[in-house]
Amino acid sequence: MNEAESQLRILKRFEPILCFTKGERFFPIDVDWYLSQCSLWVKPPGKAAVELVPQGEVTLELLTKDWNLEKGSVLYLKFVEPLDVLELAKQSIADVVDRLTHHTVDEIFHPGRARLARVGYSSRLLDAIFNLSLFWRGRVPGDTAATAAFLYRQRQAKEERYCYYGRVVRQNGWVILQYWYFYPFNNWRSGFFGVNDHEGDWEMVSIYCIERHSSSISNTTEQEQEAAERLEPIWVAYASHDFEGDDLRRHWTDPEVQKVGDHPLVYVGAGSHACYFQAGEYMSEVELPFLRPLAVIVNRLQSIWYDLLRQAATQDRQKPFFVFRVPFVDYARGDGLRIGAGEAKQWEAIPFDETTPWAYGYRGLWGLYAEDPIAGENAPAGPVFDRDGNFRRRWIDPLGWAGLDKVVPPHQLSQRIEEQLCALASHIHTLEDKILSQTNDLQRLQVTYQALATHPDQQRACLELDKKINLASKGLWELKRELAETKRAAQLLQSYHQKISAGETLPIRAHLGRRHEPLPDTTNLNVLAEGVATLSVGILLVGVVLLWWFERRYFLIGLAALIGGLVFIEAGFRGQLDRLINSLAIGLAIVSAFVLLFNFFWQIVLGGVLFAGLYLLWQNLRELRR
């Protein structure tokens, strides 16, 4: 059994089962077919894009060719060519016919409750700005998603395949299984009301294993055959939006990691293809970096509200909060097609690694470069490189990507603890020697000072010596404190070693800073509240125009009344009027306090001084009477 076959056997044992949402139109494919449909382009800086290889002629060999490009140029593939009106009409009719003949009502996507009903007015306003920005930002043309779906259906009708690219990496005692999935198109925006559309989409799942060696296997062939069986999965990490490091991974035994045998279930976002541990609908947010200064101000005001005024905090308060983000819902319901072990659709595994020419030889984008300044509509780069041409961390440092570079594999834990105990013991011995030496030095300085202090002509020397004594004393104190802390650490580490030896383990979620959980059920949300939330920004903008056009003299009063009316109506439908009134009362109290302070500043200052004086007199008189 060669290395490729051995890796394939390992990958097949734990290959994930991908669970899609009803209505998903694109599934993982092989890159060969995708390239056969693409053309290759380059966009030099400040110039128009130039076609290097026409559609249908792109090969893996041409992809890795050195094109001697101008510095700052963007190399990219183009999957879908623009259609004329007649072709678009034909395709639209074919798409409708296909949906009617090949899809039941149960297979059609139905969006959940309005996403804007889950967020505040500032987020809704930013959502409107974000949507309007699509008119001037670079974006994928509107007919591209439909054309891409048509091409993909044609390919699947001829040869139905579901592929992933897998690699096995060994680092620091871990055996890392990476499953890379390539989708021909991401239609999150056009198909599922999400953030963006873009051609090409690389997603990844990693499983982190340790290898249990068996002394009973001596034959090399047997060892290769049993390599997969000797692996024990410990952690699994899914690539997901808005999360990184420790928050990406879960322990293999975590109930959140659902499995069928040794195959973890991965719930895939509809159109976005992000990966989640649980089925549900997830809130994903797009940052607007140019509004970050305002976000800092708002976050400080929130700190005053929650910490100083002691207002009750919601669960969102426990998360890093950035008010200037645009909210979108990622539907990962898992109620559609499933691909993997035991399912009707099976995976075709394709091993690849550092020796795969196209993985390392092509640093361009795997789809259209839409020249979007926010980059959401631009295609991603491949598994190895980011859009800027630098290495992806998840490829060259898969442990660090999931926060595991600091985590010791379980079978090496006792050894690492013993090594650290030896290091601490050595450090304690060194500190004790330093403390003894510096104590002797300090005492010698002190006896010298005492001798000089009896002579008036040595006053200046005594001052200099006193400074040295104080510095030496502070240094000695730092050493003693470090010694105490080191001894305490050694004691706790020894106790931890005993627990580990007894079979105890850390809580499986101790590493998590925050979890990506599905949105709460909103089926009980008032339909009117949902409608008001969805239409509020549009109503507000129309109201602003009408007020300015017909009642400009009362514009500010009318605007305040309009905003107040919308807020009160929505709060009433949500059953949160009491909370709104409480917040308004506190806000008005703060405003009133500032008004009083502004109008009666000196009177307040004089009153404060008078009160302080009377208080001090009273305290002093109490002392005299005693």
**Percent of the chain scored above 90 by pLDDT?**
47
In this prediction, residue 133 has a pLDDT band, given cuts at 50, 70 and 90, of low
pLDDT class of 385 with cuts at 50, 70, 90: very high
- Which pLDDT band holds residue 105 (cuts at 50, 70, 90)? very low
Higher pLDDT, 313 or 258: 258
| DSSP summary character for residue 498 | H
pLDDT confidence of residue 192: 87
Closest CA to 533 of 508, 487, 567, 503: 567
Do the domain assignments include residue 310? no
Is there a domain that residue 506 lies in? Answer: no
Pick the last residue of a domain from 486, 501, 516: 501
Residue 623 placed within a domain: no
Q: Which of 104-113, 423-432, 602-611 has the highest mean pLDDT?
A: 423-432
**Given a cut of 90, is residue 326 above it in pLDDT?**
no
| Residue ranges in 502-576 assigned as alpha helix (H) | 527-550, 555-574
CA angle 336, 342, 343 (to 5 degrees): 25
Domain stops at, among 407, 441, 469: 407
Query: Does 97 have pLDDT greater than 70?
Result: no
Task: Number of helices (H) and strands (E) in the chain: give both, helices first.
Answer: 19, 16
Average the pLDDT over each of 319-333, 422-436, 574-588 and give the range with the smallest value: 319-333
Task: Give the Cα separation of 319 and 317 in Å (integer).
Answer: 5
By CB neighbour count within 10 A (0-12 exposed, 13-18 middle, 19+ buried), where does 232 fall?
A: middle
Strand-strand pairing, 163-171 and 39-43: unpaired
Q: Is residue 516 part of a domain?
A: no
Q: Are residues 398 and 427 in the same domain?
A: no
pLDDT of residue 4: 77
Question: In terms of Cα–Cα distance, which of 319, 262, 365 is closest to 41?
Answer: 365
Return the higher-pLDDT residue of 552 and 261: 261
Specify the pLDDT at position 310: 58
Where does a domain end: 407, 438, 469? 407
Count CB neighbours of 233 within 10 A: 20
Statement: residue 305 has pLDDT above 70: no
Bigger pLDDT: 173 vs 146: 173
Residues 271 and 418 in one domain: no
> Which pLDDT does position 319 carry in this prediction?
45
Three-state DSSP at 467 gives helix
Enter the pTM of the model. 0.80
Question: Does the pLDDT value for residue 558 go beyond 60?
Answer: yes
Residues 29 and 55 in one domain: yes
Q: Are residues 475 and 360 in the same domain?
A: no
> Exposed, middle or buried by CB within 10 Å (0-12, 13-18, 19+), for 457?
exposed
Element of type H or E holding 95: helix 85-102
Q: What is the pLDDT of residue 585?
A: 84
Report the largest interatomic distance among the alpha carbons of the chain, rounded to a whole angstrom. 110
Give mean pLDDT, residues 301-319: 56
For residue 172, is it within any domain? yes
Total domains present in the chain: 3
What is residue 200's DSSP assignment?
E
- What is the distance, to the nearest Å, from the Cα of residue 354 to the centroid of all Cα atoms in its chain? 26
Host domain of residue 462: 412-501
Whether pLDDT at 323 is above 60: no
HSE value, Cβ hemisphere, 13 Å, CA-based, for 168? 24
**Residue of 95 and 15 predicted with greater confidence:** 15
Residue 127 carries which side chain, given as an amino acid letter? D
On whether both 330 and 422 belong to a single domain, the answer is: no
Average pLDDT, the chain: 83
Residue 565 in domain: yes
pLDDT computed for residue 233 by the predictor = 96
Q: Are 398 and 422 in the same domain?
A: no
List 325's β-bridge partners, or say none: 287
Element (H, E) at 421: helix 413-453
Check whether residue 158 and residue 240 sit in a common domain.
yes
Looking at residue 316, its pLDDT comes to 46
Question: d(Cα 203, Cα 241) in Å, to the nearest integer?
Answer: 11
CATH of residue 474's domain is 1.10.287
Cβ–Cβ < 8 Å for 393, 386? no
pLDDT digits (tens, 9 = 90+) for 411-455: 899 999 999 999 999 999 999 999 999 999 999 999 999 999 888
- Tokens matching residue 474: 């502070």
Residue 13's pLDDT band (boundaries 50, 70, 90)? very high
Residue 130: DSSP 8-state: H
Mark whether 356 and 383 lie in a shared domain: yes
Whether 367 and 438 map to the same domain: the answer is no
Question: Is there a single domain that holds both residue 104 and residue 117?
Answer: yes
Lowest-pLDDT choice from 192-196, 375-379, 494-498: 375-379
316 in any annotated domain: no
pLDDT at 619 over 50: yes
Residues 55 and 69 both lie in one domain: yes
State mean pLDDT over 480-489: 97
In a domain, 318, yes or no: no
With a cut of 90, say whether residue 344 has pLDDT above it: yes
Q: Are residues 484 and 541 in the same domain?
A: no
